[in-house]
Structures are given as C-alpha cells and as structure tokens.
Structure 1
C-alpha cells in the first residue's frame, strides 16, 4: 500500500511523463531510479572523501617532483595529472549542483541523474588513485635543453666589427655543405663574445636540435672535453672509465641529432672522432675559435672567419658606454679619449680598463691613470695582467731564440703599421737572426728560413697577417709587450720613437746606449741628431724611413757605426750620402728607395764589402752606378731604369756581381730601354746564382736569348721567382697578382704576340703561375698555344684585347686539335686544359662568342673559382654543349657590358638529375649592363646551395628568377635598380615574400 501511495503521490508526474512520450518503462527500471535518488547524499559524501584521497596522492607525487630537480615526470604522469585536473573540475561542478539544489524539492529523475553521475566519478577516481601509485616510478632524467643561454653575453649591436662575423657564421651554419668553421683572431679581439652571441642567437636555436658551448683551455685534454660533452648531453657515464665506451655513448646520442658544437679558445688539434662526435651529413656543425691560424688547418676548417680589431669609432663607443656616468664631467672627456686609444681597439682591454676608470670621479685621477697605462705591463690591472700573462705565454712558447729575436725586432716599427714581409725578412737576415750566409748557403735558403718564422709568428697571433701576406702588422698591445721584454734584455737595447709615440715608451734606453734605433715617421725630423755619434760601434740597426723632411745627414754621422747592419732611409729628402758611409763595413742592408732627390751614390759605397741588399728604386741615381761592381757579396739589387739625356751605359757592372741572386729592374723609360735591353740581358744571363728576376723583354727574341744563354734559367730547380714583361713596359703591380697571396712568384705578361713567337712563350708557360695575355694578334683560343700542357701550372689568367679570340677553351673539335698537335698526349688522346686555373679575367675581346665550348676532358678548368667577363660585345654563350659541368668549384661569376647574352645557363645543359648541383659553390653572381639577358636558367630544379649575393644592374629584360623559396636558401642579398625590381614577375607571393626582405635598391654599381 505504501508503495502504491508513493507511486500515486510522488511518482505520478514520472508516470505521466512516460506515458506522454510513449515510452513503456518497466517497473524495475523505475525502482532503480528511486533507489539511486535515495542514495544521493551518501554518494555525495563518498565523492568528497575520494576526492580528498586523490588530492593527497597528487600532492605527494608533486612533492616528489619538486624534490628531484634534476629529473622530470614521465609522459604517462603528465597525462595522469591532466586527467586528475579534469575530473576534479567535473566533480566540482557536481558538488556545486548538489549544494544549489539540496534544499529544493527535486524530481526523482533529477536526483537520480546527479547520484549516478557521482557514482561514475567515484569509479573514475578509484581508477586514478590506483594508477597514481606508479609502481615503476614516474621520474626520469631531464632531456638536455636545446640551448643553454649565456646570461651575461656582451651585446654586440652597434659594433659592425663584431656583428659582421656573427652574420657570416649564421650564413655558414645554414650551408649544409660546410661542416667545420674556424673563428680566428688575436687575444682580446672578441672571439668569445662572438661565440656566446652565436650560442644565444634565436636562429641557432631553430637550426639545431642541440647546441653545445664549451671552453677548451690549454690544459684541457680530450678526456676532459669528452666528459664535458657527455655531461651536457646528460649521457650516463657514471663509473665508466673506458674512453672508447664514453665516445660510443656520445656518438650514439648525437648520431640522430643535428648538433652545433662551439669550442672556444682552441689551442691545438682536437680529435673529435675519438671524443665521439659523429661526422653527420644532416647539417651538424663544429665551430671553434682560436688565436692560432694553424689550429684552423689542424682541425680541417673549410671556412675561416677572421675577427678584426674594432674601428676607432667602435672602440670609443664601447669605452664611452661603460664610463657613461662620468664621461660628461668637466675636463674628463679629452682624457677619456686618450685612455680609450691606449686600449688598442681590443674589447677585452676596453672593458677591463673602462671599468677601472669608471670609479675615477675627477680629471686628476684620470690623468694619473693615463700615466700608469703608459708603463704597461707593470701596472696592476686585472684585464692587463690577463693580457700580459697570455702574450708572455705565447712569447715563451716560441722557445726558439731566433723566433723570439725576430718577434722583438717587429716592435721597432710603429703600432699597426705595414711591415712588408720581404723587407722584414731581409732585416732579420742582416741582423744575423737567420744564421750565417756563406758560399755554401744561398740567400734563398736564408729567406725561406725567415718566411717560415714569419708564418709561425702570424699563426700564433703575435703578428697579424696583412693583405695576401705581402705585409704584416704588430698590434699596439703586443708591441708594448715586445718593447717591455726588450727593455729587460741587454742584447736588445731599443730606442724607439715616432710621430705617434714620440716619448711615451719610457722603457726604451737612452740614445747613446741603444743597439737599435727606430725614428720612423718622426715629427719634423730634418737633421739627424749628433747624439747618435756618441754611441761608439754599438749600433746595429738605424731606421729613419718616412721622415719626409729629413734632408741633411752630417758628414761624420757614420764615423762610429762600424757594426751597423741595417740602414733604412726610405722616402726621405736626402740629396747625398756622407763620405763616412765607408765606415759602415758591416752593413748588410741599405734602403734608399724613393729618395727622390738622391741623384748619385758616393764612391765610398764600393767599400761596403759585406753589403747584401741594395734598394735604390725610385731614386734618381744613374742606372747601375759603376761602384756597385765592387759589392762582391751583393745578393739583392733593386734598381730603376729611367730616361736621361744621354744613353745610359751599364758598363758591364751586373756581370761582376757573381753572388747576385735577386735582380729587379723597374723600367720608367720604355723606348730608351728597348735600345739597351739586349746588352743588359746579356749581362744578366752571365749570372750563375740568379734565383729571382724582374725584367722587361722588349721582344720574344730577347726572352729567347735569355732562356738559351742563362745558366741560372737552364737550371730550373734554381730559378724560383720571376716577373717577365714581354713586349710591354715594366709594370710595378701586375693586375693578376693582386688577387693571389704573396707566394704567387712566377708571372708573365705577354703583349702584342704573334704565332711565330708562341714556341718561346709556350716553353716559358710550363713554369708560369700567373699569365696576362694582352693584344695577341693571331690566336683564336687560349688552347691554340702550341702545347696546352704548357698551361698546366697557370693559376691566374688575364686575357685582354685579343681581337681574334672567339672562344677561350675549345674542346669540341678533337680531330682538329689532334691534327694540329694541340691538346693531345703521347697516345693521341685528349688532355685536360688549364687544370690548375683558379681565376680567369676576360676583358675587351671584341670577337669572343663563347667562353667555354665542348665536352671537355675530366680535369679541364676543374679548379676555377672566379670568372670575370667584361666588354665582350659579340658574346652570346658562356657555357656551351655541357661545359658548365666542369665548374663545380666556381665561387664568383661577374659579367659586365656583354650586350648579346640572352641566357646564362642553357636549358639543355640543365637536364638530368646530376645537374641539380650544377654550380654547387657559386657564392656571388654579378650581372651588369647585359641588356638582352632574359633568363639566368630555365631549369627550376637547379639548386643554388651556396649563392649568397646577387647583383643585377641594367638588365631590363630579366624579369624572372630561377629561385624558389627553397632552392637558394643561403641567398642573403639582392641589389638592383628599383624600377627593375618593381617589374619582376613572381611564381607566387610566397616566393616574393622570401626575397623582398633581402633586396636593396641601388642605382649605381662600380664593377
């Protein structure tokens, strides 16, 4: 009856609802709903209790996470935590609904649904509590972070000298073909700053899976380096003492990663394979910074980034930024500039010294500090002590006394000035640093020893390499170190003063005590001080060059200088030399070049029996003065032939110089020289010890006469260097040599040639490294020379004004070549042409139609790196019939004023899968005034993996690029006229958006 009442009373609406919807629910189902509704309060209570248990378990697990900072939760734990948070959120919603409706009269259906929801959550919570026990643990070792930021890395924005290398490195990091990069620079120049900024760079974090930055100290062996890498990778090597096993684990960890390994301050070769670093082909890179050039070679760096000194403006900005709080105080800024100048433009010194001056609050203390800086390295300053310690280490590591003396000698020259390599080696030789010169030892051997030392000093950054090693420099900071060391050595005793540092070097000895005096480029030095005469027979070197007002040398100046070895009066205004010159009986080197007012040499010159080097180029001394023939030990003679009123008689002087090894004759009066060249050539031919010659041969027959008569020339192993000018006035600076290092020693400039003379030239070419072929009258191709094997040694070539040439290299007609004896070996098969050629410059060839034609033999032009074409009005094709396949090493291609070229790379030359990297190393492409050019390349599949700079000027028909957003990934700069850029046609907007940011409008371009 009670049940019936309940149904009739409370449940009547439910029954009505069931009936209304036409659903015949069973009586048992209704009873289940009523039962569930009745348990709502109990379920709510159970739910609250279980949620508390779940929260307690979550808190316990979270505490465990916090307790193990070196570990991270597993992925399954993270998923569990997410489910806990989700279910807690859902439970809170149920509890909120329960609380809000608790006092209201609910329908059974609503209570039942809420109760069932709670039961469902109770079941889910139960499972979460069970799963949250994690019987196998839920913490694992952290993965190494992709990049560990250097928090205190110095900012480089606003310092182009530091920003430039960073940008260059970033570009190389994107080039998949480059694996190892060296960063080279002297101590304190900012290499560490650059490495730290690379490590922190956002682009780097996107390029690599992991970046490892380590400092490689002098004491750090490969084992320590290996363990540091393992620690960074979080490779477990605990208890492992076997280096091979550690290497295996590192290798396994890195094998599938794209890594960047940054090694700062490398001092020697590092066997990375032994450490465990894999040689991946996935774009992984090794970047190492070093002070020593040879370390780059030892570690097989394929690219070298040189870090230079800051500019003067940059150095001042860096210094000013640090002392900004006091720089504007009265009277301090002028002193601050002097202090900044003392920092040698080295960031390390600037920062150290600027911070020490930052606390000085008045001009008095700044002046006192400046005075202290003048006696570096004696003052106590942390930055300076660090600098001195390392530089002293480099000096001590020279160990060889000869190298140490040669280094100290470099401090005689003004800081950062150009010290020409040949000249410096000659001074070392004159001082005896390179050993004794005798009848069994050639001057060439002495030179080789000197160049070896010079290269070593540049490799260890005690001297800075200049352009192509023609000259070197000594940084002011290193120079101060050298002067400080020399002041402690009684064998040195330097007196050094110049326009720049007149009296600032307080460690120099007095003028009377000095063994070596340097007064280079002294301010207003008009006459040599008589005080030098009070130095009896001690003086070994007297450097007075570049004193542009020095005109008077007293007659008795050299009276007490019998031990003098080097006298340099280059570029002074002296008119004559005193009679006391005869007292210089030990003199080895005499430099009178560019003494433009000097017209004659005194007869006393003939008494200098030990003189080895005499340079009178650029003076007005009569060609080959008669007394020179008495200089029986002369090894190097450099003279100028110039026009005079009467015929210049050489009087058989040169032939008397039996020990002469180097002869340089610069010709200023070519027409007159043509009348005397034959006689001078005959004298030169009689010299048996000649190894170096610079000579102008008016005709090929004069050259043939020399080659037939000269014993020195016939002994090819003896003749190591020549600059021959055939049919052309002597040139002081051959064009092609400007593009090569100083080791390029065998040069020929051949002008107005004819086929009848080519046998002579062909024979000479077998020993020639650099060739300038000017206005040849007959040849139609460079390969027309009698024997193309004579071109095998050519590394650099200029071809200009040869108006019958239609192609440079023509290998298409093998039969023709064989019939004419060209390009054929003993078996009658084709040989490679110009296999050593690295640079080719073509100018003003009016009939040139194709540069390279034909399917050439393997090796032909395979080393060509630079190709420049200018003013070839009939040129239509550069590469023809597949010739482009030979140019895998080409890095720079420049074309200007070639009005007929329509297509750079022909379509049929880009077929086949092998053409994908047709020009794999091309970095620079310049196209200027090529008005008919329509297409660079039709083949869109051609990749340009190394292209960095594209310059387009006056090419109005070029309206499209062969570049997609992916096939020229390293292209960073496009320059051209705005009007041309606006008319370019793009494949799609995505490609345009890729190249728009790197475009720079430029209306002028100077080729």
Structure 2
C-alpha cells in the first residue's frame, strides 16, 4: 500500500502543478480584487513621491550646471509612463463599477481582467522602485572640482582611510567608550578624515548634535567656548571662563546625545575648565585629534587610532587621481611613479606635489621634481615635508605670489583678507597696479593661485584665508631664512631680542599675542619694512624713540595699545605706506601729520572723539578706515584735502555732520566735502539725519557702498552685499540727492518712512531693480503696491536677482505684485517675510507662484485683513494645481481673516463657501490637494481660525508633506483635532510636534476622519519630540503612533487624567524625557491597571529608556505609577527626578523601582504631601533593605511637612557620590 500511495502522490504532483495551481492563480484575481487595487494605489503613490523628490534633485543639479546621466532621464520617463498607466487603470470606469457593485451577480470577467492588470502593474511599479537607490546616487553628482573637495573625494577611494573611518564610527557607537582619539603626524589627513566621520555621523543620525572646534597651538579657551556655543545656538551672558564653562556644561547636558570634536590639540586640555562634561553625561562623546599619542592618553581617551602614512599602492592611487591623465604617458609614467614614492605616503606631500605637477607634460619638470626630492632622501620626515613644500613654493608663478605666501606665513595661520591688502600694499607686493580696486582683483587672483597649489586652505568665510599648520611652519621658516623675519606667535614669550647682527638684516618683526615684558627705548632695525604688534599686555607702552632707526619701515601695525600721545619717532617714518592702529586708545594724534607718504590709515575700533587737523596733511592717503571707532568730531576742511582717497570707511560712527548751509561755526565737516573726492569708489558711512545731505551730492562713481541714513537702522550687514543702502528719509525729495542714482545699482536696500512713494518699482527704479538681492521696507503709510503693472507700463523683467523680500508695517499695502509680469521676474526669490500689513488681502497671485521656483521660506504675521496666501484672479483657473517645489519653511501667524491657503475668493459668502466644502456640514481644509509642497520641512501655524489644516486624503497629503520634520500649531481655536487617522501615515519624517492653546481640541489624532476612513495603522515613525501646552479640552496625549517619542512636555491641560493610559503600555519604551506641569486633573502618569474586565495575557516586561522625569504643580496627582510596575516595565535608566507642588501624591517611588535605580543622579522633591519616598513592598519580608544610589550626587527635599520617613521598613541608604544634600522645612523627616 505504501508503494501505491507513493506512486499516487508522484502522479498527483504534476496534476496539481498544471491544473490546480493555474486555477488558484486565476481565482486569486477575483478573490483579491480589492487588495490588488489597494496595493497598486499605495505603490504608485510611493512611486510618485520618490519621483517628485528625485525630479527636484535633478532640477537643482541641472540649474547648477551639472550633467544628468541618461539612465536617470530614462528612469524618470519610465516612471511617468507607469504612473500614467496606473492612474488610468485606477480611474477606469469599469473599475469603479465593479468596485461599487453590490448586487448578487458581479461581473466576474471584468473583475478578473482588471485585477490581473492591477497585479501586473504592481510588479512594474516594484521593478522601478528597486532601482530607486541607484538612480538617486546618479542624480546627485559630486561637487565640481575644488581645492577642498578633490582630495576628500580621492581619499574615499583609499581602503586604509575607509577602514579607519569605519573603525572610528564603530568606536563612537560603543556604549562603553566616551572618548576616542585620532593621532598622527601633521599632514596625514587627520582633520579631513574626522570631518568625513562627522558628516557620516550626521547622515546616520547617531547623535542629535555634532559640534567641532579647533584648539590650535595655544588653547584659547574663550574662543573654543564660543565656537562650541555657536553650534549649540547658545549666547553667553557670563563674562568669565568659569561662568561660561558652567553654562556650556549645562547646555551640553540638556542634549540627549552629542558628539564634540576637538581638532588640533597640541597639549593637554582641561576639558572641565572648557565646560565639557567629564563622565556625568553618557550622551556626550568626545573625538579628540592630536599629533601626539601621549597628549590623548593624558586626556584619558579609551580608544586611539593612528593615521599613518599611505602604502605605495594607495600613494600612487591618490597621486595619479590628483595629477591627471598626463601620467598615462608611458614616457612620464616611470618618473611619476618615482616622484610619488618619494612623497613617502604623506598625504600633504602627495597633494602638494601633485598640484604643482598637475597636467605638466614636460618630462624635464618631472625629473627636476624627482631630483629635488632625492636631495633629502636620507633625511627625516620633517625634511621631506619642508623640501616638498619649498618645491611647491619655488614653483609658484611670480614673485608677487611668493611674497604673498610669505606674508601669510608671517601673519597667519588665520589671516583676514583686509590685512593682506593693507600690509601687502604697504610692502609693495602688488607692483605696477595703480588703484586699490585693481589691487583687490589681483589679491583675489593670487589667493586663488595659492589655494590651487594647496598652500592655502578654503575658509568658511570669504573675509579670511587659512594655512595648514605644516604649511604655515614652512612659510615662517622660509621667511626667516630668506627675508630675516623675526616672529613670535600666540602664547609665546619674548624673552630676549635677536642679536644686533640679525636686527641689522631683519626686514619684518611679528609679535602676535605673545608676552612682551617691555619694549626697548629704541630698536635699531635700519632695514625693517614691516613691524606688527598685537598686544596682550595692558601695561605695555611704546617708547617715544622706539621707531627712530626704522627709516625704511613701510607698514606698521599696532593693535590693542594705549597712546596718550603718538610717539615722536613717527617723524622718522618718512616712507611709511600703511599704518594700522586698530583697537587702540588714542589721545593726542598730532604726530600723525609727519607721515606725509602714508597711503593707508586704519583706526578701526579705536577709542577717540576727535580727529586731528593734521590728518589733512596726508594728501597721498588712498584708504581711510575709521569703522567702529568712537569718533564724533571730524573737523572741516580735512576730507576735501584728501583728494586721492579711493576708499573711505566711516561705518558705525557717531560723527555729527554739519548742514551745508548752517550759520553756525563748523566744528564738523559737511558731507559736501565728499564731492572733492573724485577718485572715491568705496564708501561706508552712517548719517543720523537726511537733512544734512547736500542737494547736489553725487555718488555716481561709487562701486561699493554701505550707506545708512536715519536713526532707526543699526549698522549691521546681514548679507555681505557690496552695495547696501539703509534709508529713513522724511520726503522723497531727499532721493534726488545722489541717493536715487545709487538705488539703480543697489544690492541690499532698506527703506523706512520714505514718503511720497506708492509704487516701489515705478517710483524708485524704472528699470526693475536688475541687481537688487535683498529688499526690506517698513513703516510706510503710502505704499499701495510693491509692483503695479495693471496699467501695462511694465514690459521688462523686474527683480530678476531678488533673494529676500521683507515687508513690515505698511498700513495701506494692497498687493505685492498687482498684474502680470515678464518671465524671470522674481526668479531667484528665496525668502518672503510679511508682517503687520493690515490692508493686504493676499500674498501671491498664481502667476507669481509659478515664477518662484527657488522660494524656500514664507513667513506671514499679523496681517489682519489677509484672506489667502495665494489668490486666483481668473475664476476659471481655480482648479489649477500650484507647486512650491523648493519651499522648506512656512510660518503663518495672527491672521484672523484668513480662511484658506489658496482660492479665488476674497469676500466670503455662504453659498460660495458651501461650494468649496466637501458638503454643507463639513468645513473645507486650509491646505487642499491643489497645493503641493514637495520639500516642506517646517510648518508653523499660530492664531488662525481654521477648522482643518489638510484634507482627509492620504495620497494628496503624503505628496505634499512627506518631508515635514517640524510642525507647530498654536492658538488655532477652531481645530477639533490635528490629524485624522486616515492621513497620519502621510508624515513619515515628522520629528518635532508642538501644539499650544487650541481651545476646543479634544484629541490630537481623530479616530476617524471626516470621510469615515478607518484608522490607519501606520504611525509617525520618526516623531521624537512632543510639546503640548494650554490645551483645555485635550483628554488624551499618548497614541500608539507616538511609540518612538524621546521627549514629551505637557503643560496646563485641564482635562487630562493620565499621561499614559493603560492601553498604551509598552508604547513608551523610547521615551527619555517627560515633563508634566500645571495639569489640574492628572491623577497618575503611568496607568498600569485598567477598570475594564479583560482577559489576562502573558506579560512581557518592558524596558523604559526614561532618564528625566519632571512633575510640577499637579494638585490631584496621587501616584506616578498606578501600581508597582514590577514585572510590567523597568525604569533602570532614570537619572533626574523632580517633583514639586503635588499635594496629593502618596509616595515618590514604588519599591521595585527604588531598589533598581543604578543611573539615578538627582532627586528634588518640594512642596508635596507625601509621607514617604518609597512605598511599602506588598508582602515584603522583615529583613533589612539596602537602597543603593551609587551615582546620586544631588538630593534636595524642601518644604515637605508631612514627610516622616524614606521607607517604612528596616532599611539603609548608600550614596557614595553624593555632593549636594538639602533638607529644608521637613520637621518630621528622619533619614
């Protein structure tokens, strides 16, 4: 029988395969009809979202001039075809008929065919979705080649560096390691590698914050504290290092997880003095970079990584990649390999020599490079570095670029560009150049040349340049050898001056923030050309005869000095070209008149009230810089004598300019003297009142200017534009005083109370402001339109380069742009901010929105008549979709009249409003499906009378808000709920949610949406922070969709009885911080029991990550936990517990929690009614209990009149780390 059974089974198998399986497959099309269409809709919805993101990225890359791969374009075309087919199938009338058929005889044939197509289409969608990651990687091409990016990109190909990066990342994720060290010789690429690690850490979101600071040779703790504070958004009020350290430590501890990177550590750094937590913040990790392992070990690093030289294979790989295809020439390749080998695997040498020889096809140059390297082949590594960098220096093209390199070394390693200009001109580096304008162009070219040779680094600011410390050392060495430069850098000490022989040959002396006990009466340096002293000793003074034997001095810089009287020896400086007395206290300056050949005079940030009349004797002066000085009196008839001035900087000064026709005796100059400066091309000036402007003043020759007129503006430059005007003019007449000519070319324009203007574009600039980048208008009661083209006068592009538009307190402004406009108008606009414009009814028209494809920020506040953000003039276009493809931030607040975001209605009526609703009983959504936000990350809504923010439609919401990360809703008193359950899955990237003062809101997530959709099981997977405040009717905070929350704050919610209801057990496992305050009905925080009858299930113990628990002013709170959580949830991670003003609370901890708090550091209990800290254990035995609080360092018990015990049974307490103990007004307590 077994044989027969086996034969039967074998025979049956193919029958099943060939008959039953196909029948089952065909039947499945009928059975799973709805599932197939549901899957199709979900799949192609996701595909549309992905396609939108990639399309946007591609467009950005294309606008940046980058090539897009054909495979990307082909993929996008294929996706369009699939989406179109899927939508056609979903909208097929047969599908709707079949789907809605409720009769007993459904159309099986149609059902089968449609289901089969849907199933096949799902497969097509899945196929292109599988290619998504590959396509995304192609869509985002690497940056164009630059100094910094080339090496970083090339180094990614080096296996040793990739492995090192992975190992460092692994160490940073190790919970037992808090300090990681990276060390190695200078020039090994340590900083570059660590920056790549920081970038990866950010991308992987391993830490909430990543901060980086550079320590340098001498640790300037104040500067480092400021650098770290900038990353944290912290502003110090403290004035001492200790005070700032305390604030910094407090701020860092408030971060859940933070990585602090300290680069270029030369000696042991006192981390505690700096303000970094030592071992009392597990979320803080340090990544320390130094040349020396012993420094790291003394700073107690737990894992150290040596960044060593590259092996020969990687050396050649990097060298070949950077030097170009020239090494493929067989005649050169052999020599090139030898040159690479001589670089000894040191990255800085490889990069430097490769730059010098890039695309060099002359074999003799290669042989010369090899010979230079062979000279020191037997030498040490430092000699190799010096040799290679000197080789690069020797091959710089021109003596001017070499001189600039050595000047950078003398002043550096961080050098303000203005220093290079001022001192470079004084030293005559820029030969045969007649104007400062041309000097600036040449300086820019030379800096570019040095960067291209890797002798200068890219800087975060275009105001300064930087040198790698090794390059700086070599530059100083060459300057000392070839130019007899004497330099003592920051933190050093001038113990004795060089020998008399050296001083006779010395050409430069640089003393930068070093300790100088005293200057000699006279310094005999007959050949010196540059003397630079940045003082740190308040008592140091310059003797009157100090400069007597410096007749060849060309440039003199004295910073932070005090001069009651300028030295008499200034009379000896007959050939001085540049004098910088910055941040000095200046008294009698009459001796300055002796400097007859002076071309540049800088008195920036120096304290003085009056300029000497002798200044008028400096007739060769080409630049005068008094920025931020205390000058009030600028004597008349000085400016008019300085006819060679090309640049005049008087910004942020308080000069009291005289009126031109004043009858009073003129103590101060009048602005009419500026008309004598026919060579002036750069002017920065602050004028308190427009009345001092001469009627005939002309500024037509100015090429750079920052002019501030009026007392409402601060001297600040938010954008760094070279042409800035800030105007407060009492009448438009003042615009005729040369100002209107400047407006034609202005890039940054601020207008306050400029009367007589109703149409900004027409009244101020008939050419459309072709160069304007930033426009700020405020306090005007006459302007009706920024642009009015309704009369057809505008036939040109306007505001083609405008990036920022700010409008504030324009009382009768009706429209920003009234009428149509030419293409490319507003093409670069990125930010629009409108505030307190009470007659404005809408912000954008539809044509304007279509032009704003670069707009990233919208902020509209306190506009009481505003009805729409976008208005449709043509009612036929009301169904047209609009896209804000680049918008990242949208803030709308205090707009009482606004009814929706986008429509063609400016006047409300019952009939029209009903037509806009889904039905007569349901209000329309504020943002409907016609508005698309593909990249919106931040949405803030406050004090708006809206009843629904978005439609209850998953697809439309998901398309617009899938990148939303921050959502804040405040004072929206008509909102009953924030999300419907049908759309909650449309916000996959939401990280922070804040809800405040929404009076009628009873729930955050409605169980059913307006269309009765079933609850969506998809939650908010990335939501980490939830803040709820002043929600009077809210009955429930926690939802199953919030199970990833890390921080929750609840304040003043009167209806809440508990924070975590029973049915949410196990859903708060990620929570780390909980703050609950001023909730009058809360009786318990964690409800661990239920009054409902339910079937007991086998419990699994949850592990809570809760670290901080703060409960304040909860008058009805009885218990934090409704019962002892033993066996239900562990709270082993608790670190900080604060409970205040909870009069009905019975105890602080259940017994099972109190005995297992290994991480607890702080307890503060104040003004509560509890009798004991730890509740009795149910069924506890009488043996003694020991409570171990090994990490507790602060215990504060304050005003606890009922508290009489810690625990009601035999017990003892251990707290070996306790540092702070306060027990105040607790008469009954016995510890």
- Relative to the length of structure 2, the TM-score reads 0.48
- Give 2:740's match in structure 1, choosing from 762, 770, 791: 762
Indicate the residue corresponding to 2:774 in structure 1.
796
Counterparts in 2 of 1:121 and 1:639: CA distance versus 1, 3 Å: closer
Partner residue in 2 for 1:819? none
* CA distance, structure 1, for counterparts of residue 298 and residue 846 of structure 2: 77
Q: Which residue of 2 aligns with 1:600?
A: 588
Distance 1:122 1:857 in 2: 72
1:884 is aligned to: 849
The yes-or-no answer on 1:974 pairing with 2:966 is yes
| Alpha-carbon separation, structure 1, partners of 2:775 and 2:299 | 60
Q: Deviations over 1:496-526 (max 9, x none)?
A: 32237989xx9xx988875333323335x57
Structure 1 position 450, deviation (Å):
1.0
C-alpha separation in 1, matches of 2:534 and 2:599: 19
| Matched residue, 2:755 | 777
- SS of residue paired to 1:663: strand
Aligned match of 2:507: 515
- Deviation per CA, 1:868-917, whole angstroms, max 9, x where unpaired? 22333443311146433332232222223334434322367898699656
Contact 1:878 / 1:904 at 8 angstroms: preserved in 2?
yes
Aligned match of 1:406: 404
Task: Name the structure where helix makes up a greater proportion of residues.
Answer: 1
| 2:143–2:149 CA contact under 8 A, matched in 1 | no
Does the C-alpha gap of structure 1 residues 748 and 383 become closer, same or farther in structure 2, counting only changes over 3 Å?
farther
Q: Determine the structure 2 residue equivalent to 1:685.
A: 675
Contact 1:976/1:1002, CA 8 A, preserved across alignment: no
After TM superposition, list the pairs within 5 Å mapping 1:87-166 onto structure 2.
Answer: 97-98=2-3, 110=4
Residues 799-832 of structure 1 show CA distances to partners (whole Å, capped at 9, x for unaligned) of 1111222332222343xxxxxxxx45xxxxx333
1:614 aligns with 2:592: no
Structure 1 contact 746–767 (Cα < 8 Å) conserved? yes
Residue 475 and residue 809 in structure 1: after superposition, are their counterparts in 2 closer, same or farther (change >3 A)? farther
| Cα displacement (A) at 1:590 | 0.8
- The C-alpha deviation readout for 1:522-545, integer Å capped at 9, x for no partner, is 35x574356xx5552233322223
In 1, are the aligned partners of 2:550 and 2:573 still within 8 Å (CA)?
Answer: yes
CA offset at residue 444 of structure 1? 1.9
**Alignment match of 1:447 (pick from 415, 440, 443):** 440
Show structure 1 runs of 5+ residues with no match: 1-93, 99-109, 125-169, 183-205, 210-254, 262-279, 300-309, 326-336, 371-380, 815-822, 825-829
- 1:774 is displaced (CA, Å) by 0.9
CA 1:461–1:998: 2 relative to 1, 3 Å: farther
Q: 1:116 to 1:879 in 2, by over 3 A?
A: closer
d(CA) in 2 for partners of 1:181, 1:462? 32
Q: Deviations over 1:235-278 (max 9, x none)?
A: xxxxxxxxxxxxxxxxxxxx9996889xxxxxxxxxxxxxxxxx
User: Shift of the alpha carbon at 1:579?
Assistant: 0.8
Q: Aligned partners of 2:140 and 2:630: how far apart in 1? A: 61
Q: Work out whether residues 179 and 288 of structure 2, in 8 Å CA contact, stay in contact via their aligned partners in 1.
A: no
User: C-alpha distance in 2, partners of 1:463/1:324?
Assistant: 24
* Deviation of 1:707 (Å): 3.9
Tell me which of the two structures has the higher relative contact order, counting C-alpha pairs closer than 8 angstroms and 6 or more residues apart: 1
401 and 803 in structure 1: CA distance in 2 versus 1, 3 angstrom threshold = same
**How far apart, CA to CA, are the structure 2 residues paired with 1:875 and 1:123?**
77
- Partner residue in 1 for 2:787: 809
CA 1:288–1:892 in 2, change beyond 3 Å: closer, same or farther? same
**CA separation in 2, counterparts of 1:756 and 1:363?**
67
- Matched with 2:1072 is none
Superposed displacement of residue 770, structure 1: 2.0
Q: For 2:642, which of 650, 653, 657 is the aligned residue?
A: 657
**What do residues 953-986 of structure 1 show as CA deviations (whole Å, max 9, x unaligned)?**
5556374147845423662521425897993134
| Among candidates 517, 520, 527, match of residue 538 of structure 1 | 527
Which runs of 5 or more residues in structure 2 are unaligned? 17-51, 65-74, 79-127, 155-164, 184-214, 221-260, 268-285, 307-341, 356-388, 903-926, 991-1019, 1030-1231
**How far apart, in 1, do the equivalents of 2:694 and 2:503 lie?**
54
Secondary structure, counterpart of 1:867 in structure 2: strand
Offset at residue 117 of structure 1 (A)? 7.1
CA deviation after TM superposition for structure 1 residue 591, in Å: 1.1
- TM-score relative to the length of structure 1: 0.58
Q: Is the 8 A contact 2:598 2:618 kept in 1?
A: yes
Whether the 8 Å CA contact 2:962–2:986 is kept in 1: the answer is no
Q: CA deviation at 1:347?
A: 12
Look up the match of 1:638. 625
Find the residue that maps to 2:440 and give its secondary structure. Answer: helix
Query: Is 2:892 aligned against 1:906?
Result: no
| 1:794-943 pair list within 5 angstroms | 794-814=772-792, 823-824=793-794, 830-880=795-845, 882-906=847-871, 916=881, 918-930=883-895, 933-937=898-902, 938-943=927-932
Question: Per-residue deviation at 1:615?
Answer: 1.6
Deviations 1:6-47 (A, max 9, x none): xxxxxxxxxxxxxxxxxxxxxxxxxxxxxxxxxxxxxxxxxx
Note the 1:728-767 alignment, pairs <5 A.
Answer: 732-733=715-716, 737-740=717-720, 744-760=721-737, 761-767=739-745
The CA distance in 1 between the partners of 2:217 and 2:631, in whole Å, is 53
Alignment partner of 1:387 is 2:383: no
| 8 Å contact from structure 2 (residues 940, 969) kept in 1 | no
Is the counterpart of residue 988 in structure 1 residue 948 in structure 2? no
Alignment of 1:522-601 (within 5 A): 522-523=514-515, 525=516, 527-529=518-520, 533-545=522-534, 547=536, 549=538, 551-595=540-584, 597-601=585-589
- Residues paired across the two proteins, number: 690
Equivalents in 1 of 2:681, 2:297: separation in Å?
A: 64
Aligned to 1:74: none
Question: CA shift at 1:738, angstroms?
Answer: 1.5
Query: Offset at 1:171?
Result: 8.9
Superposed CA offset, 1:477-502 (max 9, x none): 55345435545x41263413223798
Question: Does residue 175 of the first structure (1) align with residue 155 of the second (2)?
Answer: no
Q: What is the CA distance between 1:773 and its match in structure 2?
A: 0.8
Displacement, 1:346?
6.8
Q: 1:340 & 1:388 partners in 2: Cα distance? A: 26
Change (3 A) 1:798 1:461: farther
Aligned-pair distance for 1:452?
2.6
Report if aligned partners of 2:605, 2:629 keep a CA contact under 8 Å in 1: no
> Quick check: 2:872–2:878 contact (8 Å CA) kept in 1?
no
Where do 1:227-306 residues align within 5 Å?
Answer: 284-288=139-143, 292=147
Specify whether residues 600 and 114 from structure 1 end up closer, same or farther in structure 2 by C-alpha distance, changes over 3 A only.
closer
Distance 1:641 1:478 in 2: 34
Contact kept in structure 1, 2:583 and 2:604, CA below 8 Å = yes
- Contact 1:294/1:459 (8 A) holds in 2: no
CA distance in structure 1 between the aligned counterparts of 2:478 and 2:611, rounded to whole angstroms: 42
User: 1: distance between equivalents of 2:502 and 2:1027?
Assistant: 58
Q: Aligned with 1:725: secondary structure? A: strand
From 321, 330, 345, the equivalent of 2:263 is 345
Superposed CA deviations along residues 627-647 of structure 1, whole A, max 9, x for unmatched, are: 2233232110124799999x8
Larger Rg: 1
1:338 shift after superposition: 9.7
SS at match of 1:633: coil
Q: Which moved more, 1:664-673 or 1:744-753?
A: 664-673
- Give, in whole Å, the separation in 2 of the partners of 1:786 and 1:584: 50
Q: Which residue is 2:429 aligned to?
A: 433
- Which whole-Å deviations, capped at 9, do the CAs of 1:725-771 have from their partners, x for residues lacking one? 345589542xxx4124xxx3222222134244445543332232221
Q: Distance in 2 between matches of 1:1002 and 1:116?
A: 68
Deviation at 1:686, TM superposition (A): 1.7
Cα distance in structure 1, aligned partners of 2:450 and 2:936: 35
Change (3 A) 1:698 1:477: same
